[in-house]
Amino acid sequence: MSGTRAGRVAVVLKGYPRLSEAFIAQEIAALERRGLDCLIVSLRHPTDRRRHPVHAEIRAPLLYLPEYLYREPLRVLRAWRRVRRWPSYAAARALWLRDLRRDPTPNRVRRFGQALVLAAELPPDVTRLHVHFLHTPASVTRYCALLRALPWSGSAHAKDIWTTPEWEKREKLAACAWLATCTAANRDHLAALAPPGRVELVYHGIHLARFPAPESERPARDGRDPADPVVVLSAGRLVEKKGTDVLLEALARLPDDLHWRLVHAGGGPLRKSLERRARQLGIDRRIVWRGALSQDALLAEYRAADLFALASRIAHDGDRDGLPNVLVEAQSQGLACVSTAVSAIPELIENELSGLLVPPESADALAQALEALIRDPQRRFRLGAAGQARVRASFELESNLDRLAAKFGLPARRSVRRAEAAEFVHRAE
């Protein structure tokens, strides 16, 4: 089902801008380049101190909703007084009360309050809502769409899919006009819950002008020189599903004669406990914790590393990665990757051909894979080159964006890549 290009699209996000959601920002920027007129609606104010360069390219104005209703009670009350007179209010309130009976939480109350504010303050030229994430943001969007009698669509990613109850996924999929998701694994799961043709696969892709291939070759380090250790890079939020604790266990099991250094990029709630575990394992002096990095700073880390490792797993609450963008970014730089056969990672990495995959939760298997690649730089180079070719063939942003652009009624790919490349060269000079 294609969209109709008319009016503005309100893009609803849980928070904006966020370092961990560069893939959303690059998608918005790319759609703007194709002519989409956007309003960004954020349920939360930003908490990251840094921003990616792509955030500066986005022209869309911002509307922040009340993050907590009690902090802006007059704004919420004004919205309710206005909206409750609308003919659509009774149906929206009934839908919310039905959801509240099944999910009697403060978060569900907050969602409806935010929807009231959004419905009351939405500019009149907005003719469609589009939401990223199927959980909280989609609830706000669905209630607001019903209040304003507007169509809505969505993009589903990872945690939002696997931690949302099935009843809620079914009802949202029945109510939206269409939904895009970023992996075949996600698509198959959601399509089984949705009306036929409702769910479509659209890989995020990578903006190759922002991640050009490195000009210099990597050194052939093999772990024998203590003064020149092999650099293992890992990136991602320090949360359970990323499996950083398993990576630490694997590194601790490497032979004593192997010299390596781990660089980790990303912040998160588990940092202190992981640092403590590294000390217990006796490997803390070999680890550099970079914290959250902007995209350009992370690019420099990809280029300085010898291999990339990500020990993704399924968390206890069901949360899991979709297709981690850091793996796509690492492979764009010709960096050999070791990861796990979880969720959609095998859609990117074919074991032994474009990287190495091991079972999740297996520190022994991960240690064996890391040792093999640390000792064999030529194998790293072959896998890195194959991964880079895979990314360029199937995970380039603009070609994958064609499907999504069509949904919004935008023209097929414009000749933007040459102009963008020239712009990046000009900036670099």
pLDDT tens for 27-42 read: 999 999 999 999 999 9
Helices (H), 197-324: 244-252, 271-281, 295-304
How many angstroms separate the CA atoms of 252 and 159, rounded? 30
333 and 308 in one domain?
yes
Closest CA to 217 of 378, 401, 24: 378
> Chain centroid to CA 56: how far?
19
Give the residue with greater pLDDT, 228 vs 23: 228
In the prediction, which pLDDT does 22 show?
86
In a domain? residue 212: no
pLDDT band at residue 96, thresholds of 50, 70 and 90? very high
Tell me the CATH number at 297: 3.40.50.2000
Structure tokens at 204: 């995020």
Note the pLDDT tens digit of each residue in 136-178: 999 999 999 999 999 999 999 988 999 999 999 999 999 999 9
Domain shared by 311 and 180, yes or no: no
Could you tell me if 342 and 406 lie in one domain?
A: no
Residue 413 has a pLDDT of 67
180 with 200, same domain?
yes
Q: Which own/partner pairs from 412-416 qualify as long-range (CB within 8 Å, at least 24 positions apart)?
A: 413/34, 414/33, 414/34, 416/33, 416/34
* pLDDT computed for residue 6 by the predictor: 55
35 and 100 co-located in one domain = yes
Q: Please indicate, yes or no, whether residues 41 and 79 belong to a single structural domain of this protein.
A: yes
Tens of pLDDT, residues 109-120: 999 999 999 999
Q: How many domains does the chain have?
A: 2
> Does 250 share its domain with 166?
no
* 342 plus 403 within the same structural domain: no
Residues 117, 241 share a domain: no
Q: For the chain, what percent of residues have pLDDT higher than 90?
A: 83
Q: Distance (Å, rounded) from C-alpha 46 to C-alpha 62?
A: 12
- Whether residue 232 contacts residue 302, with contact meaning beta carbons closer than 8 Å, is answered with no
Structural domain includes residue 310: yes
Q: Is the pLDDT of residue 415 over 80?
A: no
423 pLDDT exceeds 90? no
Q: What angle do CA 314, 319, 320 make, to 5 degrees?
A: 55
User: Does 425 have pLDDT greater than 80?
Assistant: no
- When pLDDT is averaged across residues 244-264 and rounded to a whole number, the result is 98
Q: Which whole number is the average pLDDT over 285-302?
A: 95
What is the span of the domain harbouring residue 295?
230-392
Q: For residue 238, name the pLDDT band (cuts at 50, 70, 90).
A: very high
What confidence score (pLDDT) does residue 129 get?
98
- Do 323 and 387 sit in the same domain of this protein? yes
In a domain, 129, yes or no: yes
Structural domain includes residue 291: yes
Residue 89 predicted with pLDDT over 50? yes
Compute the mean pLDDT over every residue in the chain, rounded to the nearest whole number: 92
Q: What is the pLDDT of residue 184?
A: 92
Higher pLDDT, 428 or 298: 298
* Tens of pLDDT, residues 295-327: 899 999 999 999 999 999 999 999 998 899 999
Can you tell me the mean pLDDT for 236-240?
96
Residues 386 and 243 in one domain: yes
| Rounded mean pLDDT, 51-73 | 94
User: How confident is the model over 280-293, as a mean pLDDT?
Assistant: 97
Query: Would 214 be classed as within a structural domain?
Result: no
CA distance from start to end of the chain: 43
pTM: 0.82
Task: Summarize pLDDT for 339-388 with one digit per residue, the tens.
Answer: 999 989 999 999 999 999 999 999 999 999 999 999 999 999 999 999 99
Distance CA 74, CA 200 (A): 40
**Is residue 216 situated within a structural domain?**
no
The candidate with the shortest Cα–Cα distance to 91, out of 118, 122, 112, is 112
Rounded to 5 degrees, what angle do the CA atoms 234, 159, 30 make?
Answer: 75
Residue type, 5: R
The pLDDT value recorded for residue 207 is: 85
Q: Which two tokens stand for residue 404?
A: 């999504």
In a domain, 90, yes or no: yes
Quickly state the pLDDT bin for 337 (edges 50, 70, 90).
very high
Name the band, by pLDDT with cuts 50, 70 and 90, for residue 189: very high
Whether residue 302 is contained in a domain is answered as: yes
Quick one: 104 and 247 in the same domain?
no
Q: Is 198 helix (H, G, I), strand (E, B) or coil?
A: coil
